[in-house]
Amino acid sequence: MNNCELCVPDQEEHDFFTGRCVLVNGPVIVGAGPSGLAVGAGLKQQGVPFVIIERANCIASLWQNRTYDRLNLHLPKQFCELPYVRFPRKFPNYPSKHQFVGYLESYAAHFGIAPRFGETVGSARYDGACGLWRVRTRAAAGVVVGGSCESETETEYICRWVVVASGENAEKVVPEFDGLREEFAGGVVHACDYKSGEGFGGKRVLVVGCGNSRMEVSLDLCHHRALPSMVVRSSVHVLPREIFGKSTFELGVSMMKWMPIWVVDKVLLGASRLILGNIEKYGLRRPKMGPLQLKNTNGKTPVLDIGTLSKIKSGEIKVVPHGIKKFLHGGVEFVNGEILEIDSVILATGYCSNVPSWLKESEFFTSDGFPRNPFPNGWKGKDGLYAVGFTRRGISGASLDAIRVSQDIGKIWNRETKQKNRSVGVVCHKRCN
Ligand SMILES: Cc1cc2nc3c(=O)[nH]c(=O)nc-3n(C[C@H](O)[C@H](O)[C@H](O)COP(=O)(O)OP(=O)(O)OC[C@H]3O[C@@H](n4cnc5c(N)ncnc54)[C@H](O)[C@@H]3O)c2cc1C
Ligand SMILES: *[C@@H]1O[C@H](CO)[C@@H](O)[C@H](O)[C@H]1NC(C)=O
């Protein structure tokens, strides 16, 4: 396998690749978030070498660089552990993001996982002629990659297996609104660049978007004495995070073992109504379908309330149940003609997968960057392609994927490479101009 001829540019694309070329004996994993780390841990345990490529300069960059300071895990801790290593005992029920990141750091250290930072995968393509994947990366701007050729910023990794672990939330979604860029004079940030409400004190802030982020950003703004208004156009399920002292999520999971999903939904909604009251009074319309059924059919996660609702009830957070028509110099006009004066906008408008932008493949992944086969069958494709962390089931879904993927690769690797020479990352071709 360590044949340098592999590195000559393949015939199919006719492009001349002048970067560095690295043969990887083992899989290339794209992304060093929780999913990539969990696969790495599983592979390490079986003695399979691998390379993890990460565009950021640290592990779990979503958590470290693209979430707000006060974030805590949404789900109880027992549902957010990676395989093989438990959380420290002293962790609270809902660990803070700093605790979670600390856990991930020590997880990576424990398994000796050292990703290649500052490299972005720009394409990955299966080369049928030699039965290998070609994964091309470029150094992220401003990051110096080790090596003597400073002009080299492109690398091609050649490998048998590719594990896609780039995440469901790889890129932010920024919808276009009339006037937001041209007219509106205040600040605009996406939720992934929002760190805290500091600096928003006394400001009128419009929070646009859907789901949990919108609710939590609004609450955080309140804690910093800002004046948030939340646009809630579509229906949404808000559930209490706990029902009579028990985690709602956990309750749901355990009831599902005994009852059909629609009965569980009825129970959860009944309890929610008892605890939260009628939320429709505050402009929060509930979907027709129950919360778990909705999650199962289109992946829409119910909001677990951590205090936003009481701020809505007290009027500290305003709910605007109308769509946005356009932004004005110092405000926003809604479709019903109402005008609201605002100082800033926060776009909690979500994220998307970036897989279609780099993976040259359209059988296993759909055009929105998720595996075609739903959970639990979306982890293995053809020709050594794998996916981890696209189940819309958070860390627990990612952990299940990771175990399957690492065992599958481990089995083949151990069978096939026992007799062979095991060298990792041989640099077989190098050009400097
Ligand atoms: C605000 C927020 C709160 C959440 N809370 C919870 C929770 O409480 N519990 C839970 O289970 N889940 C939660 N989630 C879901 C969470 O995203 C996942 O559970 C977890 O981070 C998924 O891990 P991942 O490794 O699959 O993806 P990510 O954490 O997104 O990691 C993917 C990595 O791949 C890198 N990458 C992407 N594209 C490329 C490329 N082309 N080249 C190189 N590297 C690339 C990224 O930089 C990133 O570091 C939350 C998500 C958000 C946004
Ligand atoms: C991401 O956060 C980590 C930890 O705070 C920091 O070391 C790193 O430089 C940050 N990266 C970017 C690109 O901001």
For ligand 2, say whether the CB of 65 is within 6 Å of any of its atoms.
Answer: yes
**Can you spell out the DSSP letters for 32-91?**
-SHHHHHHHHHHHHTT---EEEESSSSSSHHHHHSS-TT-B-SS-GGGSPPTT-PPPTT-
Model confidence at 400: pLDDT above 90:
yes
Say how many Å lie between the CA of residue 55 and the centre of ligand 1.
13
Phi, psi of 11 (to 5 degrees): -70, -35
Which of 306, 395, 396, 400 most suits a substitution to test ligand 1, by most atoms within 8 Å of the C-beta?
A: 395
Which of 62, 69, 71, 173 most suits a substitution to test ligand 1, by most atoms within 8 Å of the C-beta?
A: 62
Model confidence at 111: pLDDT above 60:
yes
The predicted model gives 147-152 an average pLDDT of 49
Which one is predicted more confidently, 430 or 53? 53
Average pLDDT of the chain is: 90
pLDDT the model gives residue 21: 93
Ligand at minimal distance from the CA of 124 is 1
Which residues contact residue 128 at a Cβ distance below 8 angstroms, ignoring those fewer than 6 apart? 383
Q: Which residue's alpha carbon is at the smallest distance from atom 7 of ligand 2?
A: 58
Q: Which fold has domain 4-170+353-427?
A: FAD/NAD(P)-binding domain (3.50.50)
Say how many Å lie between the CA of residue 390 and the centre of ligand 1.
10
Model confidence at 109: pLDDT above 80:
yes
| CA 25 – CA 68 distance, rounded (Å) | 38
Say how many Å lie between the CA of residue 85 and the centre of ligand 2.
24
For ligand 2, say whether the CB of 101 is within 6 Å of any of its atoms.
Answer: no
Q: Which residue's alpha carbon is at the smallest distance from atom 10 of ligand 2?
A: 65
| 4-170+353-427 and 173-351 share one fold | yes
pLDDT in tens, 290-336: 999 999 888 888 999 999 999 999 999 999 999 999 999 999 999 99
pTM of structure: 0.92
Band of residue 260 on the pLDDT scale cut at 50, 70, 90 = very high
Give the homologous superfamily in CATH for domain 173-351: FAD/NAD(P)-binding domain (3.50.50.60)
Host H or E run for residue 98: helix 97-110
Q: Where are the domains of the chain?
A: 4-170+353-427, 173-351
For ligand 1, say whether the CB of 229 is within 6 Å of any of its atoms.
Answer: no
